[in-house]
Structure 1
Amino acid sequence: MPEISRFYGIVIRMYFQDHNPPHFHAEYQGMNAEYDIKTLDVIAGNLPKRAHALVLEWASQHKEELLNNWEKATVPVKLDSIEPLN
């Protein structure tokens, strides 16, 4: 599963040819959550409150890039890296 971003100990990944809805995976200290790209709702798993807030902040800044990567993952072709949260 390609890593597309990393910040504050949080790793963001996408699977190739994954199930709908378009989503990404966030990992932090052994915990995992899947986020719907369009709504930013958690569709599976959970993260600690602070990590969850950071993921939401980052994803809201990069929705278009996340959707572009989702389209690439369906083909599948190499995914683009996305800038971390600063």
Structure 2
Amino acid sequence: MPIIATFFGILVRMWHDDHPPPHIHVSYQGFEALVEIRSGQILEGTLPKKAAAIVKEWCLKHQNALLDNWARAQRFEPLERIPGADLDD
């Protein structure tokens, strides 16, 4: 599964041809979660409270880029890296 972003020890991945709704796979220190792109809410799994808040804010800030990657993934095209929360201005 391609890694599309890393920040603060958080790995963000996206599968090609994954099931709806558009989401990302997030892992952090042994925790794993599916996070909906449009809302930043955890659909499945768990993350520590602080990590979940960081991922939600990052997800909403980069929503357009994430949805563009989701569309690419549905067409089995290469995915683009997205700047992490620790690299944003």
TM-score range, shorter chain: over 0.9
Distance 1:34 1:52 in 2: 11
Deviations 1:17-45 (A, max 9, x none): 10000100110001101111112221100
The code of the aligned residue for 1:14 comes to: M
| Structure 1 residue ranges, 4+ long, deviating more than 3 angstroms after superposition | none
Question: What TM-score does the superposition give when structure 1 sets the normalisation length?
Answer: 0.96
Root mean square deviation, CA, Å: 0.7
Cα distance, 1:60 vs structure 2: 1.3
The 3-state SS of whatever aligns with 1:51 is helix
Q: Is there any run of 5+ residues in structure 2 with no aligned partner, and where?
A: none
The 3-state SS of whatever aligns with 1:70 is helix
Identity of aligned residues (%): 42
Q: Is there any run of 5+ residues in structure 1 with no aligned partner, and where?
A: none
Question: What TM-score does the superposition give when structure 2 sets the normalisation length?
Answer: 0.93
Aligned to 1:76: 76
Of stretches 34-43 and 68-77 in structure 1, the one that deviates more from structure 2 is 34-43
Aligned to 1:38: 38
Cα distance, 1:13 vs structure 2: 0.3
The 3-state SS of whatever aligns with 1:35 is strand
